[in-house]
Chain A
Amino acid sequence: DAKTTQPTSMDCAEGRAANLPCNHSTISGNEYVYWYRQIHSQGPQYIIHGLKNNETNEMASLIITEDRKSSTLILPHATLRDTAVYYCIVRVENNDYKLSFGAGTTVTVRA
């Protein structure tokens, strides 16, 4: 049963990099780490995912430790529009379809 642990909240200065940590110490070898975010009351939005290697796209970078027990989402230049709840999730209970969204990290970007 792969679960994740994230800080409840964090602040970030506009224009600076935001580093969001996530622990997933029980992750299995074939489970991906996914990051989503939810802005205000909209539906969650996919950001990025990875298995072993670090990943980068137009939104963010994902750094996964070599033992895969933790990861960090990096927003390189945070803007006020990045204020949101960020969810780090993996598969639940060896079920291909069920994903567990915990409370996530509330990120507030300040001017």
Chain B
Amino acid sequence: NAGVTQTPKFRILKIGQSMTLQCTQDMNHNYMYWYRQDPGMGLKLIYYSVGAGITDKGEVPNGYNVSRSTTEDFPLRLELAAPSQTSVYFCASSYLGGYNSPLHFGNGTRLTVT
């Protein structure tokens, strides 16, 4: 199993551009999550999904959108990139809800908005 795969690893965007961060998992997990991590800080939950077709907001959803059309994929969309979205983005998945089974994380996408 590849686990959780994120692409791209790095990206530089200009202010106002848009992009999609890709996340796919091959563990047949129902639950998927997007976190962001600013330098020296912990992780903040952006969005999460409990299954295909179901998504919900986390702590910091503004400026982002998600979709979950399949069990495997959970892309994160930035529509109008802003410098405040410069961060490292981590996707994760779990078999059950996050407090009841371990989260498996990807290796992140490092995004810079200038």
Contact = CB atoms under 8 A, between A and B. Distances in A.
Given A44-B43, A87-B42, A99 B105 contact: no
Size class of the B contact interface (CB-based, 8 Å):
20 to 34
Interface string B52-83: 00001011000000000000000000000000
A58 interface: no
Interface string B17-56: 0000000000000010101000011111100101000001
A46 B98 contact: no
Contacts, number: 64
Interface residues on A, range: 20 to 34
A45 B107 CA distance: 10
Task: State the main secondary structure of chain A at its contact with B.
Answer: loop
B105 A98 contact: no
B84 interface: no
A97 B48 contact: yes
